[in-house]
Each structure stands twice: as structure tokens, then as C-alpha cells.
Chains A and B, each alone.
Chain A
Amino acid sequence: MLALTVAGLFAASQSTADQFADKAWSLRLVAYPLLMLVAPTIWWFAVGRRDRSSRPPALAFTLIMAPFLSDLTANWLDLFRSVDWWDDLSHFAHWLLLCWGIGLLLAPHVRPRWVLVPLIAGIGALLALGWELGEWYAFIRHGKEASGAYQDTLGDLTLGTSGALLAGVLTTLAPTTVTTTARAQRGRGGDS
């Protein structure tokens, strides 16, 4: 998934096709792989390095990386312009995938399991707010799209948080293996 995304980003950055115009592909070529590698890197330092017998949570990493490939693919297929509701669907579905992956990584540390629902929904809300602040800083504070930004922003925040809420519910339904590291943390009263 990472290799596909990097290859697609490189091709998009070189393309002259209309759907790629003014979308900062050179920046994305650097930012997307870095963001996709955040979760595996944290996992490596928090778990993998200490417990060499731990298997990397490949499903969680795949879910976290999927939104980046999905965004890129939608740009290749020009879906953001050809399908009115694609952007809204992306906010919901990408937050669902991303937060589901995060939820699977955090689940072994959380008991009782229902706490996962507000925890994952909250992390989704934080990420959605961070995304909207990034949009404000990059585009809207200079006046671009300011007129329609208010309701778009509230809509995107609501869709992202709703996707994360569903991710929290789905995480509670998945079987969880308590890792050695999580067990050790819980054994110390959860402090780390």
C-alpha cells in the first residue's frame, strides 16, 4: 500500500492532467509517506523494539494507510470533481478507516471495552479539528473559499467525527489480543 501510494504520488506530481492542477503534489509526495509511516514507527519504538516476538499489527497499519491511497486514487479517477458528494463521503470513510486502525492498536490497552467508543471518536474529532485548522492555515486565512468555509468546516468535522464514532463501535466488536507490553503496563497500574 505504501509503495503503491508513493508510485501514484510520483506519477501525479509529474502529470499535466487537469485534475492534478494546483493540488500541491510535490508536498503530498513527501507528506503522505511520512504520515503513513507514523503509526508503524510509534509501534516499533513502543512495542516492536522491546518485544521482538511481537508481530506487527498489519491490519491496523493497512487501515491507517488506506485513506492516503484512497485519496490519491480518487484524484486519478477525478472523483472529487465528477461526483458531488465524494468529498463528504471521503471525510466519513477516511476517518472511519484511519480511526479503526488506531482503535485496533489501542484496544489492548483499554478495559472496559466500551471506553474505546468515546476514546476513538475523540481521537477522530481531534484529527478532524487538526485537518480543518490546516485547511484554514493553508488556504482560507488568505481569503480563498472563505465564504463557504463555515458550513463546509462544520460538515467535515461532523462527518469525520461520525466516521470515528463508527470506528470506535467496530473496534469494540473485534477480538483483541492483549500484547505483552499492554499486559505489562496494566500490571503496573497502567502507568507508563
Chain B
Amino acid sequence: MTRHRQAWLPALILVATVAQLAVAEFVPGIERFEGKAFGARLLAYPALMLLVPALWWLARRRDQSTSQQAAPYNAFALVMLPFGVDVTGNTFDLYDRIVVWDDLNHFVNWALLCGGLGLILFRAALPRWLIVFAVTGLGAILAIGWEVGEWFTFIRHGTEIETAYEDTLGDLVLGTCGAFLAGLLVAGAGRSSDVT
């Protein structure tokens, strides 16, 4: 049971995120949530938040040598937190009230996401100097994937095409810098500390 004592943290983030998404989708008349595809987010965000824990669990089942290993709940929490931050930012209308909120999110959310992924994927596999490259590179891949997704969903239809180029480069740089910070922190965390 002590192996699961830190499961409350990712569980809390998941519940808080889903609760806010449900309010955004089902409570009528809240202007800040309108036209932001919260129906799709209500399905996609929990699925994405649970993807990494699910893959970790499947990988552990295949590898008998790690079957008694405690789950990295703190790392799961880091991976889930950006989704909660995004929804909370909408709940408090921070995207409209704070000009730099979107840019700040690209940096901070990539740092959180890549920090969590770096702890799970790379910390035990790579020497420290390579962890920084690996986590930063993963952040760059995810940032490129995100921007390609934005192009496919919105921009190729003409939305914001005029400003898309420099916005995209800016978001890519912010996300990658966030991942670089995460890489430094994961490398600095060492292999002996407990992240579960």
C-alpha cells in the first residue's frame, strides 16, 4: 500500500481538471468557455493525461524485472499538470486578462510535461550530460507536433495566417526553452533521489 501513497497527487490533478472541463461544457452561459471546443477537450484531456501512466503500466507488465517497482506518481503528476494549468487558466479567464499568459504557458507547461517525461524515460537510461539533450529534444518534438496540430486544426483554413509564422517560431522557442530547463533539473536530480 505504501507503494501507492503518492497516487493522490496525480489523481487530484485529474479530478480537478475533469471537474473544470465538465463545468465548462455543461454549465450554460459562461462566456469565457464559449467557442473553445470544451466538448472535445473533455474527452481528449483526460485521455492524454492517462496515456503516460497507461503506457508505463503496460511497459512494467512486459518487463518482469521492474514489476515490483513503485509507480513514478510525481512524474505522472508533472505530465498531467499542464492540462490542469490550461483549463484553470480558462476558468479564471487568464488568457484574456494577462497578455503574457499564453507565452508563459508554452514555457511552463513544456517544462512540467518534459520534466515528467524525462524522469520516466531518460533518468535511468542516460548519463547526465545526455539527459539535458534528450529532454530538450523531446520538448522540441512535442512543440513541433503541437504547432503542426494547430496548423491542421485552425491555420490552414485561414485563421490567424498573417501572424502565424512568428507566433509559431516564438511558441517553438518558448516550449523548447521550458524543456531545456526541465532537462537541467532532471539531470541535476540525480539517480538516487526518490521520484515516486
Contact = CB atoms under 8 A, between A and B. Distances in A.
Interface in A117-137: 118-119, 121-126, 128-129, 132-133, 136
Contact of A125 (B144, B151, B164): B144
Interface of A: 106, 109-112, 115, 118-119, 121-126, 128-129, 132-133, 136, 140, 146, 149-151, 153-154, 157-158, 161, 185-186, 189-192
A154 B164 CA distance: 11
A142 B137 CA distance: 29
Interface in B128-167: 128-130, 133-134, 136-141, 143-144, 147-148, 151, 155-156, 161, 164-166
Nearest to B140: A125
Contact of B141 (A125, A190, A191): A125
Given A115-B122, A158-B148, A189-B191, A129 B140 contact: yes
A169 to B, nearest CB: 14
- Determine chain A's interface SS by DSSP, over half rule: helix
A136 B169 contact: yes
Nearest to A150: B165
A118 B138 contact: yes
Contacts of A121: 137, 141
A129 B134 contact: no
B140 A109 contact: no
B151 A151 contact: yes
Contacts of B176: 126, 129
Contacts of A122: 133-134, 136-141
Contacts of B148: 154, 157-158
B128 A192 contact: yes
B165 A119 contact: no
Nearest to B135: A122
Contact of B130 (A109, A125, A140, A146): A109
Contact of B168 (A110, A126, A150, A186): A150
8 contacts: A115-B122, A121-B137, A136-B169, A149-B165, A153-B169, A185-B127, A190-B127, A192-B129
Contacts of B127: 109, 185-186, 190-192
A181 to B, nearest CB: 11
A125 B137 contact: yes
A133 B172 CA distance: 10
B54 interface: no
